[in-house]
C-alpha cells in the first residue's frame, strides 16, 4: 500500500554521527510526483492547491477551523503578536528558544521575564502576577518540549487582569491536554514546522486562533495586507508558505504514524533507562496529557557534570543539544533575574531522539551517560 520512507544513504564512510534530531523524509518518488504536479500547474506559491490541502489537514488535526499556515514559526509568532494587537510589556518565559522573546522585541514589545517552574520548566503561574504593571498587555508562554503549561492557572490570571494569552506551541504538535488539542488553549498559539521539529514542511509554521476576527487579520497580514489585487486591509508582511513546502507538509501528514510511533518507542526506552536513576532528573509532565515525545531532556546535578557527559558523547560522535541555553533573561536586551531558569539552563541537555533512531544507538547513548555519572 504505502512504500517505505526514504532511507538516508551514508556516503561519508565515517562513523555514523548521531544528532539530537534527524528530519523525517517521506519516499522521494512521492514528493517528486507532487513536484511534477506543481510543474504542470505552474503555481509555485500564493495560496495554491497544496497550501489549501495542508491547511485543511491542519484544521482537522487541530480540531479548529481558524488555523493559518505561514512560512516559519518565527513569522507565525510575529503575525500572532501583531494580529492580536499586543503592545507594551509582555510577560514571557526565559526558558525557550530565542525566537519567543526576540519576536516580541521585533514587534517593539518589551519582554518581561517571569521565572519558570523547576519541574515542568514552563512559566510558573505563581511568578506572573508580581510582573504585571499598568503597561502589561499580554502573556506569551512556551509549552517546553511539548509539555503543557499550567494552562488553567495561567488562563485564570490572564482573565483576571484582562490580558491577551498567547502560547508558543512550536514543540507541541499533536499534544492534547484534558482531551483537547493543546494549541486551542489561550487566545492564540503558534506551531513550527521547521525541519528539526517533530512534524515538518521543511520550513513552515501556523497560527491557531480562537476568534474569527483574529484569524481574518492573520490571513491579510501573511499576504502583505492584500484584500484583492488593489485594496489593502491594514499592514502586512510576507508570511506565505510555498507549494513546495506545503506539499512536504501534506505528504508528511500521510506518514504521521511512522513519524510519531517509533518516536514514542524511543522515548519510552530512554524513560525506562533513566526514570529511576537518581543522578538525573526528567521533565515533569502534567497528568491528562497525551504527549508527542518530541524531545528527551536530562537534568544533571550541576553544569560541570552536564559538560563532562556532553564531552564524552561528543567523543563518540553523539551530539546532544543544550536546549535551552543561555536563559533568555540574560540576553543583551533583557535585564531580569530568573534564578530557576538560569539554574535549569546551566545543567540540562537534550539527547538524540527521532523516528528512525536505532535501539543500538540509544543503548550507546545510555551507556556513555551512565559511565560518566558513575
CA distances in angstroms from 266 to 4, 112, 146, 293, listed in the order given: 19, 37, 16, 9
How many residues bind ligand PLP (CB under 6 A)? The answer is: 14
Q: Running DSSP on this structure, what letter comes out for residue 114?
A: P
Give the one residue of 81, 99, 202, 313 binding ligand PLP; rule: CB under 6 A: 99
| SS3 readout for 248-298 | HHHHHHHCHHHHHHHHHHHHHHHHHHHCCCCCCECCCCCCCEECCCCCCEE
Instruction: Kindly state whether residue 73 participates in binding ligand PLP, applying the rule CB under 6 A.
Output: yes
Quote the CA–CA distance of 86 and 139 in Å, as a whole number: 9
Instruction: Kindly state whether residue 194 participates in binding ligand PLP, applying the rule CB under 6 A.
Output: yes
Instruction: Kindly state whether residue 142 participates in binding ligand PLP, applying the rule CB under 6 A.
Output: yes
Instruction: Kindly state whether residue 74 participates in binding ligand PLP, applying the rule CB under 6 A.
Output: yes
Quote the CA–CA distance of 342 and 330 in Å, as a whole number: 8
Nearer to ligand PLP, 197 or 273 (CB): 197
Nearest approach in angstroms of CB 100 to ligand PLP is 5
Lookup: cell for 66: 481558524
Nearest approach in angstroms of CB 99 to ligand PLP is 4
E strands of 143-255, at which residues? 164-168, 176-177, 180-181, 188-192, 205-209, 226-227, 231-232
Cα dihedral 293→298→299→300 (10° resolution)? 180
Instruction: Kindly state whether residue 120 participates in binding ligand PLP, applying the rule CB under 6 A.
Output: no
Nearer to ligand PLP, 97 or 300 (CB): 97
Nearest approach in angstroms of CB 194 to ligand PLP is 4
Say if strands 318-319 and 18-19 run parallel, antiparallel, or are unpaired: parallel
Task: List the catalytic residue out of 7, 178, 197, 264.
Answer: 197
Instruction: Kindly state whether residue 96 participates in binding ligand PLP, applying the rule CB under 6 A.
Output: yes
Give the one residue of 78, 100, 223, 327 binding ligand PLP; rule: CB under 6 A: 100
Task: Show the binding pattern over residues 32-71: x = contacts ligand PLP (CB under 6 A), - = does not.
Answer: ----------------------------------------
Instruction: Kindly state whether residue 327 participates in binding ligand PLP, applying the rule CB under 6 A.
Output: no
Give the one residue of 101, 192, 273, 327 binding ligand PLP; rule: CB under 6 A: 192
Nearer to ligand PLP, 206 or 369 (CB): 206
Grid cell 507565525 is found at: 76
Lookup: cell for 31: 514528493
Stretch that binds ligand PLP, among 44-52, 165-173, 247-255, 292-300 (CB under 6 A): 165-173
| Backbone phi and psi for residue 363, each to the nearest 5 degrees, phi listed first | -60, -40
Q: Running DSSP on this structure, what letter comes out for residue 83?
A: H
Let me know if 178 is a catalytic residue: no
Residues making contact with ligand PLP (CB under 6 A): 72-74, 96-97, 99-100, 142, 168, 170-171, 192, 194, 205
Amino acid at each position: 500500500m504505502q512504500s517505505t520512507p526514504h532511507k538516508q544513504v551514508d556516503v561519508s564512510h565515517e562513523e555514523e554521527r548521531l544528532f539530537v534530531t534527524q528530519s523525517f523524509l517521506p519516499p522521494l518518488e512521492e514528493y517528486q510526483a507532487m513536484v511534477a504536479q506543481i510543474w504542470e500547474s505552474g503555481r509555485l506559491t500564493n495560496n495554491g492547491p497544496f497550501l489549501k490541502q495542508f491547511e485543511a489537514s491542519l484544521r482537522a488535526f487541530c480540531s479548529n477551523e481558524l488555523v493559518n499556515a505561514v512560512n516559519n514559526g518565527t513569522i507565525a509568532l510575529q503575525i500572532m503578536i501583531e494580529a492580536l494587537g499586543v503592545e507594551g510589556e509582555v510577560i514571557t518565559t526565559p526558558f525557550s528558544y530565542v525566537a519567543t522573546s526576540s519576536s516580541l522585541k521585533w514587534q517593539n514589545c518589551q519582554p518581561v521575564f517571569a521565572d519558570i517552574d523547576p519541574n515542568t520548566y514552563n512559566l510558573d503561574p505563581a511568578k506572573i502576577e508580581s510582573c504585571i504593571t499598568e503597561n502589561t498587555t499580554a502573556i506569551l508562554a512556551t509549552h517546553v518540549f511539548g509539555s503543557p503549561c499550567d494552562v488553567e492557572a495561567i488562563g485564570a490570571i490572564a482573565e483576571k487582569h484582562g490580558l491577551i494569552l498567547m502560547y508558543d506551541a512550536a514543540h507541541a504538535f499533536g499534544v492534547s491536554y484534558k482531551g483537547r488539542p493543546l494549541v486551542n488553549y489561550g487566545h492564540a498559539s503558534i506551531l513550527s514546522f521547521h525541519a528539526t521539529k517533530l512534524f515538518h514542511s521543511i520550513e513552515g509554521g501556523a497560527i491557531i486562533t480562537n476568534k474569527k476576527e483574529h484569524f481574518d487579520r492573520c490571513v491579510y497580514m501573511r499576504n502583505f495586507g492584500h484584500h484583492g489585487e488593489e485594496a489593502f486591509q491594514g499592514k502586512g508582511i510576507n508570511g506565505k508558505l510555498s507549494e513546495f513546502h506545503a506539499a512536504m507538509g501534506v505528504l508528511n501528514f500521510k506518514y504521521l504514524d511512522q513519524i510519531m510511533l517509533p518516536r514514542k518507542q524511543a522515548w519510552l526506552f530512554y524513560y525506562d533507562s533513566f526514570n529511576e536513576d537518581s543522578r538525573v532528573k526528567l521533565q515533569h509532565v502534567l497528568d491528562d496529557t497525551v504527549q508527542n515525545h518530541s524531545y528527551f531532556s536530562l537534568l544533571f546535578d550541576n553544569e560541570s557534570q552536564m559538560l563532562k557527559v556532553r564531552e564524552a558523547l561528543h567523543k563518540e560522535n553523539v551530539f546532544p543539544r543544550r536546549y535551552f541555553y543561555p536563559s533568555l533573561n540574560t540576553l543583551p536586551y533583557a535585564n531580569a533575574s530568573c534564578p530557576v531558569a538560569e539554574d535549569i539552563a546551566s545543567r540540562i541537555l537534550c539527547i538524540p531522539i527521532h523516528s528512525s533512531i536505532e535501539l543500538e544507538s540509544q543503548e550507546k547513548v545510555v551507556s556513555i551517560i551512565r559511565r560518566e555519572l558513575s
